[in-house]
Copies of this chain bind each other. A is one copy, B any other.
């Protein structure tokens, strides 16, 4: 199912992820893209991929290069195909700039339908002081060769799972019970994460990483789609080369909604990204 690692890894700027998230500036603040069908899960375009697309447009529009904090409200489901991103510069400062962006697609009459709207503040991660007083610790996850990806078993999720061909995803067996009909009952998901073509992580691929694991809902015994209502990501550090570790937890499943908190750790044990999303569940 998934390709074997290429002998020559793709590089940042020249990879599947870069090609599929690249936007073309049509005019100031207007960017076109053909949303790829390669980043779908159960026939839905992955929310983290969409956030990366919006993130690229804002990086072009704003004077600072790196997303520091980006908040997205998901309005209607995106489809592979033509889309336009419209950006607005809200404020530019010396160390931070703030922007807004919306992704639209087209209805049968060619009218724009808004899919996602985001607010984001950008800065320069390379300009931050290197003081690190992180008290959080990396997740306890077995070594990669003791973890499992989709290629290690039958496809557990029906429907198009094209995204699994684009990712190197190795799940902690302690969070894989759902795939074997025995969900743990604990709202946790952990995995080693990378891109299948070997491209190293960067701030934009971190936007993908926080939304690329199976839903914690599966381990809570829930099935079906778990659509994201809102997702906020903090990018705290440029990730070092090498695989990432992603740990997600849900502690408040109630009233038909749940939160998913994701932490992304790089190969140098830096907590490079933190996110929280609010998602809807079908109670079962």
Q: Which A residues have a C-beta under 8 Å from some C-beta of B? A: 68-69, 71, 73, 75-76, 90-91, 96, 98, 100, 114, 117-121, 125, 128-136, 186-187, 220, 229-230, 232, 234, 236-237, 250-257, 259, 270-271, 274, 276, 278, 283
Alpha-carbon distance between A71 and B251 when the two chains are bound, in angstroms: 20
> Which one of B73, B236, B253 contacts A90 once the chains associate, using CB atoms below 8 Å?
B73
Q: Chain B residues near A237 (CB, 8 Å)?
A: 254-255
Q: Chain B residues near A90 (CB, 8 Å)?
A: 73, 75, 114, 117
Q: A251-B134, A252-B236 are in contact. Are A259 and B274 (CB under 8 A)?
A: yes
Q: A73-B119, A114-B91, A278-B234 are in contact. Are A134 and B96 (CB under 8 A)?
A: no
Q: A90-B114, A121-B229 are in contact. Are A69 and B100 (CB under 8 A)?
A: no
Q: Could you show 11 A-B contacts with beta carbons less than 8 Å apart?
A: A69-B230, A73-B119, A73-B120, A119-B230, A128-B255, A128-B256, A131-B254, A134-B253, A135-B187, A237-B255, A254-B271
Alpha-carbon distance between A254 and B236 when the two chains are bound, in angstroms: 8
